[in-house]
Structure 1
């Protein structure tokens, strides 16, 4: 009994110790931690696996999906695009350039918006990459406006239809399979049957005959072809280094990481949309090659760990293609006529990549290997 009385006498002191108030030195730190609502937009590189970079942010608010975040790599700005939120304040990003030299712990800054590129007349006669940086060594691009590469398609009520023929100046096309102005045209063919040469001829004819603006987007094709195209355009006067150019060039070629190849078509499309919506122009958008857009999307999907779909393509194949193609349309302000070269793997038109593209096209021109082997062009 005496022992229990002594224990009960000690208990209030124990309770008093357990419920002591927080010391003043700790109180400000705790109140600041829970009261702060500002997000910290700086993060640190957590992991680098090829073109995929994981970034850990300190704040509670993470950058939104498709936001651009930037870091330094070898003194150059490297742009990453947010693709996934992994939990524990880690976001998975796709790099728009090479990641050689990146290290863990390097600072990353959220720009708060998608990748933005310069648009407007200052882009004409210039070559840019996926992030809008000039790659023709002729100084910065003189543009007054920046536009995000991710945008919504025009509303249904804003779209218009027209039944005009686009005169290409190529007799076999204008006679047998004419193209509609403001439509989407597919050039199907295997390797080496003349898709790129056909597109070059179209740009030349239409720039000379109609004086309209064109945007050429090279997606995952040979750098040599892009270089040849640039110099040919200078010789024919389509690009005038000191004068009035008619075409803007956007390149994300074979040597680029998959992130750049998957987004460069959207960069070219954004420039074309500016001329259509802000200046009321009828614009020509050339994409060479739309298959490489799908192929790059497949690579990105695999890097992000998504389960592949038919023939190893990404499960989001139809969504990726539809999101871009729906933006290529005619509105009441102007039109975008798109000519897309479509590489057909192993000459198999039932492959999911060309088959998905078919659904969006208004006209198709299939180049035949048999005819090209006879030396007849266009095949």
Structure 2
């Protein structure tokens, strides 16, 4: 038996009183918050520009900020998708480290060659290991119904522990020169390769989240998973895909980290989870799921990076940067709660995105 649903575009449903649907109001609020975050970042730039105009406003300094944000941006795209589903990922920093470790070990054991063959082996191993951890997270969350926070907290410890077991807690440095010179310290048209890779990932994330069925289903799962099941969306499969994608990007981040630092930096990612999750939430993605913006994530990640850079230049202890980021995070979550409360007036729960209701295919 099949239920035939017309493929033509139907009018968007409206809530009581002719007001836009809850989901549309939430999306409008998220876009407004992303714009506000851009203004906040510009204000921070202006402040440090006044305090240290020579050093901070130097183009080379902005290049350094862009490079420092690149690896976090790659992680941030995957984390945005996970948080849009209503989940969380605490394991990304450990998966990054583990991927870098196994990639370095694989390249070292491949031989003494410094060519692209060895580099390709390392890239495949890093991406594969990240994908494996992502699939594990997804299966545990979707099939075993373990809460995402507990699942990823467990894999956070497991991935980091295994990385330390494999290395004895000592950083590895095996990476071919061709990979380091091209990806870690190379440039394309004067733009650092790390920034180019991060830009490609961010643009791809924007397109995937806002202009594809995959992104539409991701938002729908975060809005109302039970309604998704009723219209034929396989929620468990979608969750596994999202966590797998985030793991793949964490593997890519591990490879980028290895090529830039030429070290696995096992002890260097204690605050990576805080920085990335804070950037995602500050950028406007709701911790309650359903709505998010990759562009907002990028701007949200620029705030801690700019603060850290500016504090170093003006001589403020870098510990204050975590205080400020923590304050931003609390304010962003509070703003999200206020935003959702205002958007939900007239309805008890966000409905499916209107685009999904307008574009359903045959459900069989």
TM-score by length of 2: 0.20
Query: By percentage of residues, which structure has more strand?
Result: 1
Q: Mark the structure with the bigger radius of gyration.
A: 1
Q: Using CA pairs below 8 Å that are at least 6 residues apart, which structure has the higher relative contact order?
A: 2
Greater helix proportion: 2
